Structure 1
Amino acid sequence: MRATTIPERLMADQAKALPTKRFFVRMITRDISIEDCILDLLDNALDGASKEVARRHGSLDRENAYDGFWARIKIKDNSFCIEDNCGGIPLAEAKNYAFYFGKPDPDVNGGVPAIQTAEHSIGLYGIGMKRAIFRIGKMAKVVSSTSAGAFEVDIDVSKWEKSGEWAFDLTECKAKTPGTTITLSPLADFVNEEVNSPEFLDKVWKSIARDYSFFIQKGFKVFMGDSEVNPYQFTLREGGGFSPAYLHYTDEETGVRVTIKAGMAGPPPDEGSVDEKMKEVEYCGWYVICNDRIVIAANKNDKTVWTEGGSFPSWHPQYNGFMGLAFFESQDPALLPWTTTKRDIEVHAPVYRRALAKMRDATREWIDYTNQRKGYLEQAKAIERQATSVPIKRISEIKAISVPRFEAKPKVRMANINYSVTLDDLKAVATALGNEHMSYRDVGIETFKFYKENEVD
């Protein structure tokens, strides 16, 4: 008998390495917030709209590209729903792609071709919808319709975790208006109380207004209940010696298109009410935007240019008024420097590291200006009032940031005077000057001024 070789013995049996569903679900949901899950579902709606716009017009590069498309978020007691009119999920895509955990790889999925993604997609890993379902709801219903057909998928999360099948039951149904509705009810433990709090709803509203501003400005509408979310208007100021930076280039290694705009969004907070100052400060700092989706906002730490003890200063309230925006665009979202939550960046991504050097250059000009400004405060305020706000999209001339420069004042040599007098004499002089409680220092200054004005030519 021929002897069995070592490799043959190793291949004679297998050690199973399949994940348990409960472990899998916990792992993909443990580090994502409920707010981020909601925004993931909104991303899916936007990707659907992008496909429809590209199909109808061939490009998203139009001022009102998303006109007519909308998504509506409804949160009620123990229920969450997001519905849209963004074209729906085709039946074949639902069966073969949409419910995959991750995007199918044609090389390892039986020759299944890769799914066609939307132009400038913000769907990254093909996990957002499933992760949101598991994180927010105990039960879910997904209903989607295209002009060609429709389907329903009902998911009982607890039952699915206990089953051995890595699939969801799908039922074809009659086509309706193209779009998708995802309903989660009842909600997972502790979720209902959080999502129905006014603080949470206000936070989600502000995140949508800010992080989806560029989509909304292109015509996409987002509703929370019956109320429409208006976009935050990003502006930089021009005039009086101020000019925003505008830099555009294509990263040679990745082909990612990078655009950097930076400058004065508002004067440093030396004037105005406290409330007004705080409102503006909330939006100061650096923004990183991937395919028009804001990933990090108003950053003031070392994820962008600000460092602690490094070659570049850390953020200081003195820099309030500065705003920088770094846009990264690609047909392939995997080339962009963002994480799976799309609320953070891969700080070590080479395309991002190369952009950071240019972001620092723009920031340095503002830092130098605020340092110099302290010695010319009234003059600086007068110049700053001459600058007017310009929408980000209207800043298109390629140039470096510019700020006013102040001529150095001639230095005046100063001297200190120190002498002693009796307390009675000092009080008598203070009384004669009209204020018996005047400080010793002020008595000395006033008597010196009197002598100079009356005795010195």
Structure 2
Amino acid sequence: MSGIINGNPTKVFFIEMLTRDISITDAIIDLLDNSIDGASSINKNDYSNLYIHLTLNENEFIVEDNCGGFSLDTAQKYAFRFGRPEDAPPTTGTVGRFGVGMKRALFKMGKVFEVESKTDDDHFQIDVDVAKWKEQKTIEEKDGVDVKRDDWNFNYNIIDDQSKNLDNNGTYIRVTDLYDEVSNLFTDESFLNDLTDDIERILNFSLEKGITIKLNGKTLSKKGIYLLMSERVKPYYYEGEKNDVKFRVLAGLSHTGDPSVAGWYIYCNDRLVVEADSTELTGWGVRSNVKFHPDYAMFRGILFLDSDDTLKLPLTTTKKGIDSTANIYKTSRTYMEEGMNYVLSFLKDVRKLEDSDDYRNTLDEVEEKKNVVELKRENFNSYDSRKFFAPDLSPDVIKTKKDSVRISFSAPIKLAGKAKVHSGSKSYKELGENIFDYYTKMEELLDE
């Protein structure tokens, strides 16, 4: 005799259990990831003129963007499914993977939510009262008997009035009837400050690309990762590909300062998932017999992992870690450890210098720095692969500083590109020099 045992999931599991695996901060950043995925579909390299606005208070949570929105077809077939359907179209360089992020975030925060999306072809809204949705049933006939089953569907309304919440193509999400603990957090200045810092660090790559993110009206700043990179200082690098995942390893020096920001940074499709790591995960500790020391505060390592098929990236579901057993990560870590050994060997020699602090400060003051976006775009063809270069350790080099100072500033990519073409500059560095020359010549004219 054989039979069937019911293995269907329950709504209570998704509402009450799945949401426990993620913090409120991670839930919010999950929603921001969706907006940035939309921005990437518009232009992968330049997010200028795109924005994400967050509003958090004791009564509501709102995230609104102008990053393209998603179609009604996507909403019907994929976006509101619990889990990624097998027939879902392939992801193209996004960070969304498992099909639970948006729903989990919304269920985490409150009991009522609305999602509005506007594209060139669609404008619709989904309103959900979680308590009512949880009790929503459908009736199926089985062996002549009506059987009630959970109805997992959501209802939508087409918006004909273009003056709803969205004037531009994008997404508007609002959660109300917040859970008490969430409502309390949203009025806690300490939480809001920490959230600001987390967004600025984790999404720094997107901020570098020009997207504007506001939290309760405050524009957030980018907190990028930088490497010293010039004619005298060149980081170790290696790049390769395995199973449709491209990887680039960079290991070098950054500015002096807090040792807590030293270590490895790992980006998956430009999203920071591991930061300032100095554990066994990235080759430190017992396995390599290399333990972190404050004298290694200048060490920075960056691993870029990129794939059109996001499922092939070694991401965890919360996007806050790496699956260290994944073959692509094992391959990458071989080169991470090699590059790290080169840099740490150099820093050990610096540590032996009588005036080691002067040497570190000199490097920081006079050598050029490049941020993660520049490093991602850098053409390393002229570099000697798998080598690390730094200035001589002789006292003359340490005590001699350049009689010039490095001037650095950021500008919108699109505008900077136009300025480069207009000025005839071959690089952004040359553009900066031309701008300085133009200004000093103008000052000379004014003085005459």
Relative to the length of structure 1, the TM-score reads 0.75
The answer as to whether partners of 1:235 and 1:389 remain within 8 angstroms in 2 is no
- Stretch deviating more after TM superposition (385-394 or 359-368): 385-394
Q: Secondary structure at the match of 2:261?
A: coil
Q: CA deviation at 1:116?
A: 5.2
- What residue number does 1:366 align with? 343
The answer as to whether partners of 1:329 and 1:336 remain within 8 angstroms in 2 is yes
- What residue number does 1:167 align with? 153
Q: CA deviation at 1:14?
A: 2.2
Whole-Å separation in 2 of the counterparts to 1:404 and 1:15: 70
Q: Secondary structure at the match of 2:265?
A: strand
- What residue number does 1:257 align with? 246
- What residue number does 2:121 align with? 148
The answer as to whether partners of 2:14 and 2:104 remain within 8 angstroms in 1 is no
User: Aligned partner of 2:369: which letter?
Assistant: V
Whole-Å separation in 2 of the counterparts to 1:219 and 1:80: 24
1:61-113 alpha-carbon deviations (Å, 9 max, x no partner): x4xx222221111111221110011111211211221100111113xxxxxxx
Whole-Å separation in 2 of the counterparts to 1:206 and 1:257: 29
Residue of 238, 242, 253 corresponding to 1:247: 238
Q: CA deviation at 1:406?
A: 4.9
1:250-303 alpha-carbon deviations (Å, 9 max, x no partner): 22xx12111112211123xxxxxxxxx4xx334211001000000011112122
**Which structure 2 residues correspond to residues 136-285 of structure 1 after superposition, within 5 A?**
136-163=109-136, 164-174=150-160, 175=162, 176-238=167-229, 242-251=233-242, 254-267=243-256, 277=257, 280-285=258-263
Q: CA deviation at 1:383?
A: 6.3
- Stretch deviating more after TM superposition (20-29 or 296-305): 20-29
Whole-Å separation in 2 of the counterparts to 1:92 and 1:238: 47
Whole-Å separation in 1 of the counterparts to 2:171 and 2:394: 62
Work out whether 1:72 is the aligned partner of 2:49: no
Whole-Å separation in 2 of the counterparts to 1:76 and 1:404: 52
Residue of 92, 95, 104 corresponding to 1:122: 95
Whole-Å separation in 2 of the counterparts to 1:383 and 1:223: 36
- What residue number does 1:40 align with? 30
What CA RMSD, in Å, does the superposition of the two structures yield over aligned residues?
2.2
Whole-Å separation in 1 of the counterparts to 2:360 and 2:323: 39
User: Aligned partner of 1:297: which letter?
Assistant: E
- What residue number does 2:41 align with? 51
Residues 346 and 383 (structure 1), Cα distance of their counterparts in 2 relative to 1, 3 Å cut: closer
User: Aligned partner of 2:64: which letter?
Assistant: E
The answer as to whether partners of 1:365 and 1:403 remain within 8 angstroms in 2 is no
Q: CA deviation at 1:405?
A: 5.9
- What residue number does 2:75 align with? 94
Residues 230 and 19 (structure 1), Cα distance of their counterparts in 2 relative to 1, 3 Å cut: same
The answer as to whether partners of 1:305 and 1:359 remain within 8 angstroms in 2 is yes
- What residue number does 2:282 align with? 304
Q: CA deviation at 1:330?
A: 0.6
User: Aligned partner of 1:115: which letter?
Assistant: P
Q: Secondary structure at the match of 1:348?
A: coil
Residues 240 and 382 (structure 1), Cα distance of their counterparts in 2 relative to 1, 3 Å cut: farther
The answer as to whether partners of 1:319 and 1:366 remain within 8 angstroms in 2 is no
Q: Secondary structure at the match of 2:267?
A: strand
Q: CA deviation at 1:23?
A: 2.0
Whole-Å separation in 1 of the counterparts to 2:344 and 2:121: 57
Whole-Å separation in 2 of the counterparts to 1:125 and 1:379: 49
Unmatched segments (≥5 aa) in structure 1: 1-8, 54-59, 107-113, 268-276, 409-457
Residue of 371, 391, 394 corresponding to 2:370: 391
Whole-Å separation in 2 of the counterparts to 1:240 and 1:68: 35
Work out whether 1:294 is the aligned partner of 2:272: yes
Residues 15 and 375 (structure 1), Cα distance of their counterparts in 2 relative to 1, 3 Å cut: closer
1:296-326 alpha-carbon deviations (Å, 9 max, x no partner): 111121221212x333323222211111110
Whole-Å separation in 1 of the counterparts to 2:231 and 2:80: 55
Aligned residues: 367
User: Aligned partner of 1:169: which letter?
Assistant: N
- What residue number does 1:334 align with? 311
Q: Percent identity?
A: 31
- What residue number does 1:436 align with? none
- What residue number does 2:146 align with? none
Q: CA deviation at 1:35?
A: 0.5
- What residue number does 2:403 align with? none
User: Aligned partner of 1:86: which letter?
Assistant: C
Q: Secondary structure at the match of 2:178?
A: coil
- Stretch deviating more after TM superposition (240-249 or 318-327): 240-249
Q: Secondary structure at the match of 2:180?
A: coil
